[in-house]
Amino acid sequence: MAAAGEETPTSCGPRRDPRTRPPRDGYGVYVYPNSFFRYEGEWKGGKKHGRGKLLFKDGSYYEGEFVDGEITGEGCQHWAWSGNTYSGQFVLGEPQGRGVVKYKAGGYYEGEVAHGLREGHGFLVDQAGQVYQGSFHSNRRHGRGQMLFQNGDKYDGDWVRDQRQGHGVLSCADGSVYEGQWHSDVFSGLGSMAHCSGVVYCGLWINGHPAAQATRMVILGPEVMEVAQGSSFTLKVQLQQDSGEVAKNENGRVLQISVGVRRVQLPAYSAVSFFKVDEDNQETSIRTPFGFECIPYPLSTGMLAPGAALEGAGADSPLPGEHLDPALDSGAFCGQDDAPDSQPARARAPHRPGACRRVKQGWAEFADILLGPPPPGYRPFLSLDSLSQGAGSRSRGVPGGTTPSGQEPPGSSRPRGTAVAELAAALPGEYVVLVHDVTAPPFLGRTLPTACKHLRVLAQGVGQRPHVPEEGPKAAHGHSPVSAVPP
C-alpha cells in the first residue's frame, strides 16, 4: 500500500495547463506568469507567429503581425499612458519604417519613423492645426521643410532641432515677405523684408530686428529756414540710425508734410499780432520744440508759373483721389518734374495738403512747397504798430486799410490783380513745418517720431532782413536736430 501522501501512478502522470504553458501551434490564448501580458492569436513552435493581439495590464495593446515571437511587420499599437496610437510597420517591437501616429491631444503624423521616433520625411499636423512637411530627426523638425502656421504665415527653409535656422523664406498672412538667414527661430544675418506697408529693408538682421533701421527723421538745412513771401521752397528729409548714419538700407516708408503757424507772432518778423480761429474752424494747438504753439495751416505745393494768378484759395484745393499709391505711381507727388506741356499755363496742379513721399535709400524730398493764404476761418489781427501806419500803407506785406483778417471781402472794387496777390501767399511771420511718418501699418510696429523745422516767412520788398541771433555753424550748412512733437 502506498504511504500516505504518495502519488498514485494516475496522479503523477504528465499534465498540460494552458494557463502556465504557451500553446505549441495553431490558435491559442496565453497569460504570462507575471499577469502583465496576455496574448491571443496564432502560434508556431511555441512562439507567437502570424496574426495576434498582445494586451498589457495598463490598457495598452498591440494588434498585428508577429514573427518568431517578436512584434514585426504591419500592426497597430496603442499606448494607454499617452493615449497615442501608431499604425504602420514594426521591427522587433518598435515602430520602424512608415506609419501614422494619431495623438490624443490632437493632430497626427504620417511618414517615416525609426525606433519609435519621427525620422526622415514626414507630414505633421499639430493640435493647433499647423502643418509641417519636410525632414525630421530624433522626433524634431530638422533639415529642409515647409510650415503653415495657425495665423496664416508660411515658412519654407531650413530647420535645426525644431527651430528655423539657416536660410528660409517667410510669407506672412498680411503680405509681408522675408527672405534670408535665420537663427534660433528669428531673423538673424543677411536678409531682406518687403513689408506689407511698402517698406523694403535689405541688410543685416540681429535677433529679429534690422541692424541698420531708421530711428529718427532729420530735416536738413539751417535751424531756422527763411523764405520770401510768396516763394516756394524745398525740404530734404533724411532717415537716420541711432549712430547718425543714413538708413540707406530702407526704402518705401511714407512721409507726410504739414505746416503750423505761430498763434502769437513776434513784432520783429510779422505785422500780425495773433491769429484768431472761428468757432467753426477750431483746431488743436500743436506743441513745438521751439518754445511756442502753432495752429494747423493750409499747405500747397507746386510752383506758380511766371505771371500766373491763383483764383481765391484754389491753390489749396486737394487733388482728386484718396489713395496714396496711385498718386505716387502717377507722379502726382513728384515735385521735381515740370508739368506736362498740355497743362494750362496758369499753374502746375498743386499737391493736396499733406502731400506724401516715399523714402528712397533713406532720403525723401518735398519740392515746390508753397504756403497758401490764411483760410477763411483764420483771422489775423494786425499789431498796433501796423495799424498806426495808416490805411493806405503796407507793413511787411500785410495790406493796410483792409478788414482785420487781411483778406479782401467778396465783391471788392479793388483791382483783381491786387486782391489775388494778397490771397495767393502766406503772411510774413513764423511757421513750423512738420514731417510725419504715416507708414501704414507701421514698419515692424514702429512709427518714427515727427520731425520739425522752424520756418520764417519774410515780407517782400524789405530792404534789410530781420536780425537773427547767431545760430552756430550748423545754421548755414548743418542738419537741423530731430524734434519730436509730444503726443
CB 380 within 8 A of CB 429: no
The answer on pLDDT for 334 being more than 60 is no
- Asked whether the beta carbons of 250 and 359 are under 8 A apart, the reply is yes
* pLDDT at site 139: 96
Among 16-30, 91-105, 400-414, which stretch is predicted with the lowest mean pLDDT?
Answer: 400-414
pLDDT of 99 above 60: yes
pLDDT above 70 covers a percentage of the chain that reads 67
pLDDT of residue 326: 35
Given the C-alpha cell 506724401, which residue does it identify?
Answer: 356
Q: Which of 139-153, 223-237, 309-323, 461-475 has the lowest mean pLDDT?
A: 309-323
Q: How confident is the model at residue 62 (pLDDT cuts 50, 70, 90)?
A: very high
Nearest Cα to Cα of residue 374 among 319, 305, 425, 301: 425
Nearest C-alpha neighbor of 232 from the set 371, 137, 104, 96: 371
Q: What is the reported pLDDT for 126? A: 95
DSSP assigned state of 359: -
Residue 485 has pLDDT above 90, yes or no: no
Res 381: pLDDT: 66
**Grid cell locating 209:** 530686428
Pick left, alpha or beta for residue 81 (phi over 0 → left; psi -120 to 50 → alpha; otherwise beta): alpha
Report, as an integer, the average pLDDT of 219-247. Answer: 93
Residue 121 has pLDDT above 90, yes or no: yes
Give per-residue pLDDT as tens, 143-196.
999 999 999 999 999 999 999 999 999 999 999 999 999 999 999 999 999 999
**Residue 342 pLDDT greater than 60, yes or no:** no
* DSSP tag of 386: H
pLDDT tens figures, 373-398 = 887 777 776 655 544 554 444 444 44
Residues 72-76 have a mean pLDDT of: 97
What pLDDT sits at residue 279? 62
Q: Report the DSSP beta bridge partners of residue 205.
A: 189, 210
For the chain, domains (ranges, CATH) are: 26-211 (3.90.930.1), 212-264+288-297+356-375+425-461 (2.60.40.10)
- pLDDT for the residue 452: 95
Over range 69-83, report the average pLDDT.
96
Q: What is the pLDDT of residue 344?
A: 34
Is the distance from CB of 134 to CB of 141 less than 8 angstroms?
yes
Spatial neighbors of 353 by CB under 8 A, at least 6 apart, are 258, 298, 299, 300, 316, 318
Three cell numbers, residue 406: 487781411
CB-based contact 369:232 (threshold 8 Å): yes
- Decide if pLDDT at 361 tops 70: yes
Cβ–Cβ < 8 Å for 252, 400: no
Give the C-alpha separation, 112 to 134, whole Å: 11
pLDDT band at 410 (very low <50, low <70, confident <90, very high): very low
d(CA 477, CA 314): 35
Task: Please give the backbone phi and psi of residue 317, each rounded to the nearest 5 degrees, phi first.
Answer: -70, 135
Judged by average pLDDT, the poorest of 235-249, 419-433, 445-459 is: 419-433
Q: Which residues pair with 190 in a beta bridge?
A: 204
* Contact in structure between 371 and 431 (CB atoms under 8 Å): yes
Q: Is the separation of the CB atoms in 20 and 33 below 8 Å?
A: yes
- Residue 450, pLDDT score: 95
Q: Is the pLDDT of residue 309 over 60?
A: no
Can you give the pLDDT at residue 395?
41
What span, in angstroms and rounded, lies between the C-alpha atoms of 205 and 186? 9
pTM beyond 0.85: the answer is no
**Considering the chain, what is the average pLDDT of its residues?**
77
- 29: which 3 cell numbers? 490564448
